[in-house]
Amino acid sequence: MLANYGVKVTVCESHSIPGGAAHAWVQDGYHFESGPSLYSGMAARGRAANPIAHVLQAIDEPLDLLTYNKWNVLLPEGTFMTEVGGGAFEDVLQKVSPGAISEWRELQRVMQPLAAAATALPPAALRADPAVAVTAFARYLPQLLQGGGDIRRLVGPFSDIVDGVVKDKFVRNWLDLLSFLLSGLPADGTIAAEVAFMFNEWYKPDACLEFPRGGSQAIVQALVRGIKKRGGRVMLNAHVDERLLPASAVTPKMIQAVAEIPMNRSFMHLHLGFDARELEGLEMHHIVVNSWEGGVDTEQNVVLISIPSVMDPDLAPPGKHTLHAYLPATEPFALWHTLERGSPEYETQKEERSQVLWRAVERIVPDIRQRTEIEMVGTPLTHRHFLRRHNGTYGPAIRAGQGTFPGPSTSIPGLMCCGDSTFPGIGVPAVAASGAIVANTLVPVWDHWKLLDSIGT
């Protein structure tokens, strides 16, 4: 975004591969993704688009998006193929809790104005200086006035909205799961705006999910192109050894404030390349919930599985598939912090702690262990080493109604921060939104206004 504005840009990337938690790597023809693989709103334009879509539109780097609408969920109540779209979840409710269909419909009715309010003000319009009154509040005043009280409800926990509508235990568990996928926290910790945006994307009549051809790395490559074609540069293996500010600028109060930011737990990852012969009808996405007892965020409970080569066969050799399974935000770093990567103790624990992932994958491909040709297990120490995440954390655990994200500004003039620790959400959308806010803040308001015109918001 800064390069697009005409600013001279240098990106210092610590890893040997750009992209952070969205980077990918190739081994023996298998393309492995380190992180996100569930996208929506990427093809949209206008205020309802995904924040990363706005960035890519601004820098004129379109993606080739593959669309689909199904995902497989394996719950304590059974295994269901569910879809995104208007009444899709009702098929699951008909089998599990038919009496809750009326509650689900009522929740959708309640969420409609909230979804509209959630898209009234695109993050691309925000900046961290007084000019935000022009680019955001003045520009979108009619939409904001129309949202009215609904906008105020968006800043609280999603559970505040659910409590007034849904009593059915299964539906409440499902909503906790959806919230957890968005923020790493159940509904009582997830800001309502995140879920409202998701409802707008997933439960409208023509809803679909999207996957970039070439995988998540296609997004990263588009961003790198956007920098380089405007005269910027991306430096790899470029660790920050010395901060470009005096030691006196970092006060004990700042250090304490950072230390007090609550963190989600870490990950376990399982990356597999496997023989796909005689496997028919595999879906790309599978979500396994081992138990509702204790909540979705119970240790090693929820497993997410992605097989991106189902959508894009070029991500694996012919007749093969690449698979990524992981535990989001439920692996305690305390189990790992005394171990050394590569030690016998570490390797033994990797084997033990990855079994929950193998068992989940076996529910999709029962003979997966016999089919596997490449196996890689990632741990919280892997996450900390390659992605520089403090304690390998999944992301901030700032609970809605109990804390606020710090935003981009700091008390040090000229120093701004972005990333999913500064803006609500986990992963790519939060990173894109916060990065755009910083870029917008560093340029004149009229340049920012012209950019909003260019992306049709």
**Residue 245: inside a domain:** no
**Amino acid making up residue 412:** I
In whole angstroms, what is the distance from residue 397 CA to residue 389 CA? 14
Of 392, 412, 441, at which residue does a domain stop?
Answer: 392
**What is residue 133's predicted lDDT score, i.e. its pLDDT?**
95
| 171's tokens | 């539906």
The answer on 177 and 323 residing in a single domain is no
**What is residue 122's predicted lDDT score, i.e. its pLDDT?**
92
Residue tagged 């080739």 (tokens): 64
The answer on 404 and 382 residing in a single domain is no
In whole angstroms, what is the distance from residue 67 CA to residue 210 CA? 5
E strands, 290-378, where? 302-306, 320-331, 372-378
E strands, 332-382, where? 372-378
Sign of CA dihedral 157, 329, 196, 49: positive
* Length of the chain (residues): 457
Q: Centre a 10 Å sphere on the Cβ of residue 248 and count the other Cβ atoms it contains.
A: 6
Residue tagged 């961290």 (tokens): 128
pLDDT in tens, the chain (457 residues): 999 999 999 999 999 999 988 999 999 999 999 887 789 889 988 988 899 999 999 999 999 999 999 999 999 999 999 888 877 789 899 999 999 999 999 999 999 888 888 888 899 999 999 999 999 999 998 888 887 777 788 889 999 999 989 999 999 999 999 999 989 999 999 999 999 988 888 887 788 999 999 999 999 999 999 999 999 999 999 988 777 788 888 888 888 888 889 999 999 999 999 999 999 889 999 999 999 999 999 999 999 999 999 999 999 999 999 999 999 999 999 999 999 999 999 999 999 999 999 999 999 999 999 999 999 999 999 999 998 889 999 999 999 989 888 899 888 888 899 998 899 888 888 999 999 999 999 999 999 999 999 999 8
Range of the domain at 355: 266-392
Contact 321, 309 (CB under 8 A): yes
Half-sphere exposure of residue 339, counting CA atoms within 13 Å on the CB side? 20
The answer on 435 and 341 residing in a single domain is no
Contact 219, 22 (CB under 8 A): yes
- What DSSP designation does 78 have? E
What's the farthest any 2 CA atoms get from each other in the chain?
64
The answer on 417 and 374 residing in a single domain is no
In whole angstroms, what is the distance from residue 311 CA to residue 93 CA? 28
- What DSSP designation does 310 have? G
106 in helix, strand or coil?
Answer: helix
- Calculate the CA 410 to chain-centre distance: 24
The answer on 387 and 273 residing in a single domain is yes
The answer on 164 and 81 residing in a single domain is yes
**Residue 2: inside a domain:** no
In whole angstroms, what is the distance from residue 410 CA to residue 388 CA? 21
Contact 362, 234 (CB under 8 A): no
The answer on 270 and 319 residing in a single domain is yes
The answer on 403 and 298 residing in a single domain is no
**Residue 352: inside a domain:** yes
- What DSSP designation does 391 have? G
The answer on 412 and 330 residing in a single domain is no
**Amino acid making up residue 300:** Q
The answer on 296 and 341 residing in a single domain is yes
Contact 115, 194 (CB under 8 A): no
**Residue 258: inside a domain:** no
Phi, then psi, of 111 in degrees rounded to 5: -75, -20
Give residue-wise pLDDT tens across range 102-139.
999 999 999 988 888 888 889 999 999 999 999 999 99
The answer on 31 and 168 residing in a single domain is yes
What is the number of domains present in the chain? 2
**Residue 402: inside a domain:** yes
Sign of CA dihedral 113, 119, 125, 129: positive
**Residue 373: inside a domain:** yes
**Residue 260: inside a domain:** no
**What is residue 152's predicted lDDT score, i.e. its pLDDT?**
80
**Residue 254: inside a domain:** no
Contact 211, 284 (CB under 8 A): yes
The answer on 416 and 354 residing in a single domain is no
Of 340, 365, 392, at which residue does a domain stop?
Answer: 392
Contact 309, 282 (CB under 8 A): no
Give residue-wise pLDDT tens across range 194-211.
999 888 888 877 889 999
| 271's tokens | 């990356």
In whole angstroms, what is the distance from residue 361 CA to residue 410 CA? 44
Contact 224, 18 (CB under 8 A): yes
Of 354, 372, 392, at which residue does a domain stop?
Answer: 392
Q: What residues pair up with 27 in beta bridges, in sequence order? A: 30
**What is residue 11's predicted lDDT score, i.e. its pLDDT?**
94
